[in-house]
Amino acid sequence: MSHEQRFLRPNVIVEPLVDRFYAWLHTVAPVQASMNLAFRQLPNLESYLQSPQMHVAASNNPDLRGGYFINIAEERADEVRDLVAAIKRDRAPMLRFAEAVMRADALVREEAAGFDLTPLYPRLPDELNGVVEIAYDTGNQPTVRFMEPLAYRSGAYAEQRQSVQLSLEPGVERPFVLSTPRLPGPDKLDLDLALRHGGLDELFAARLRPTTVARLREALEVPDEQVAQLERLLTDAPSQSEDRHIEAGGRVRYYGHACVLLQSPDAAVLTDPFINCDTNSTGRYLLNDLPDHIDLALITHGHQDHTVLETLLQLRGRIGAVVVPRTSRGNLCDPSIGLYLKTIGFNVIEADDFDEVELPGGKVTATPFLGEHCDLDIRGKSTYWVELAGKKFFIGADSSGIDPVLYRYVRADLGRADMAFLGMECDGAPLTWLYQPLLTRPVTKKMSDSRKLSGSNAEQAAGIVTELGAGEAYIYAMGEEEWLGHIMATSYRPDSYQLQQVEVFLGWCADNGVKAEHLLGQREWRW
């Protein structure tokens, strides 16, 4: 039976992990991963051990959804205790690196007073030697810049942290990925493989082409005692949709959240890939609906709901290139998305504003992205202008219309948009919700609450559409799809400010002759 043809089941959950925590940009990129491990994940685990009941109760309280509570039953507390011990033992270099970042920041803040910085280099912590540069900006403010490629070669980066956990969709929401580590279990297959391991491509290719258990065992280095878990993930029938390709014209499909597929007979472009596995819910497109080859995957920014590794890993062998925004090279809060994805095996194109990437019968142009990042100096963010199958699309993601004149420049350079896709999470999480582990100096709650992960409100979205001259505008579902709760953890009520603003914007569109919708689940356009 090990040599019979098998396909990967459509309802396989894929969770890339680092030290049992869900892998995303800030938990893999070495500088930021060290800070998150030392100043969020480890303290959170220790808090859980002090009161498992409190964490579990808070995890199941709808009013605390998205909080940093660990949803692991108290009877498994010893496993969490073992995880804490392993992190302190095996990740000591990362923990020292994080402490060194804090000490270096304090040194520079206290000693750099506008004079020569050379005397400070011998006083830097040993963990940062050769990895950082100290500099002043033109306002005479000192800063520490990280040489990221070297950080990937330092003790702050360990591929041994990485693994992939596979299981079958149980039909219930997974625990929130930013807080709850994934423990092993009899119904899970844990692969102790680096995320760049080629065996993963062999596994995910089995969605399209048959393989065998024997072949996968070898490719994935599956031990004898886990073969049964591997076999549970496989089936003898393919599940790809027959209409995943088109033969004429153009097509756009909305897959949920900010994920849009733009297709012609010759090319396919996928934005912010975020497609959960098959569950019993209906009214949405799945991985099986994607074409066999995707020319370009466009990443707008590095947040965990836009650079979604559990989806990207499954598509790595099918994507020609991933287009990502170029970052600021070394800013603590702005890790390189390109370097992150290259390190784990993707073909990456880094784009600055107005760089062009050709594709069969069309092109993609990177365009500026304003706001949404809590007023931090983050440059790794981009909107995109896609020209394909005779139409022009603006992919706005969470970019804000705080200065609509920007989009006037975009239109002057690229023309009028036929369709604009925007985000309107206009009352997002505060600064410390996502960035607290990276803050080298504390901020007050009042400061944090004033600086949010917010996209456009109704007035700002209207400004974008007006300046782009867009004939159609579509607001993506802002975490409303039930199958994305493990990453989004959002809770809206009918009277939520965000949904009220969407309605105001849709009213504005109706009054101004702009065809508009608030998307949810799936939608298709053909021409």
What per-residue confidence (pLDDT) applies to 282? 72
pLDDT at position 280:
65
Strands 251-256, 142-146: pairing kind: unpaired
Residue 236, SS3 per DSSP: coil
Structure tokens at 221: 């280095």
CA distance linking residue 422 with residue 476, whole number of Å: 6
Can you say whether the dihedral through the CA atoms of 370, 336, 272, 181 is positive or negative?
Answer: negative
Give the residue carrying structure tokens 């692969």: 191
CB-count exposure of residue 53 (10 Å: 0-12, 13-18, 19+):
exposed
Single-letter residue type at 49: L
Which residues are 383's β-sheet partners? Answer: 367
Q: Are 199 and 193 contacting, i.e. CB atoms less than 8 angstroms apart?
A: yes
- Quote the tokens at residue 55: 């964490």
Q: Are strands 12-18 and 21-22 parallel, antiparallel or unpaired?
A: antiparallel
Spatial separation of the C-alpha atoms in residues 336 and 151, rounded to whole Å: 12
Query: What does the H/E/C string look like for 354-410?
Result: CCEEEECCEEEEEECCCCCCCCCCCCCECEEEEEECCEEEEEEECCCCCCCHHHHHH
Nearest-5° Cα angle at 152, 146 to 154: 85
Helix (H, G, I), strand (E, B) or coil at 422: strand
Q: How far apart are CA 131 and CA 153, in angstroms?
A: 10
In the prediction, which pLDDT does 279 show? Answer: 64
The answer to whether 335 and 380 have CB atoms below 8 angstroms apart is yes
Among 257, 79, 273, 277, CA closest to 174: 277
- What does the alpha-carbon distance between residue 93 and residue 79 come to, in Å, rounded to a whole number? 23
Inter-CA distances, 106 with 43, 71, 289, 375, 440, Å:
21, 35, 52, 22, 8
* DSSP 8-state code for residue 175: P
Q: What is the pLDDT along the chain (527 residues), one digit of tens a residue?
A: 568 999 999 999 999 999 999 999 999 999 999 999 999 999 999 999 999 999 999 999 999 999 999 999 999 999 999 999 999 999 999 999 999 999 999 999 999 999 999 999 999 999 999 999 999 999 999 999 999 999 999 999 999 999 999 999 988 889 999 999 999 999 999 999 999 999 999 999 999 999 999 999 999 999 999 999 999 999 999 889 999 999 999 999 999 999 999 999 999 999 999 998 766 667 889 999 999 999 999 999 999 999 999 999 999 999 999 999 999 899 999 999 999 999 999 999 999 999 999 999 999 999 999 999 999 999 999 999 999 999 999 999 999 999 999 999 999 999 999 999 999 999 999 999 999 999 999 999 999 999 999 999 999 999 999 999 999 999 998 888 888 889 998 888 889 999 999 999 999 999 999 999 999 989 999 99
Tokens for 208, please give them: 């399209």
Domains of the chain: 7-91+158-235 (no CATH), 92-151 (no CATH), 251-526 (3.60.15.10)
Cβ proximity of 272 and 259 under 8 Å: yes
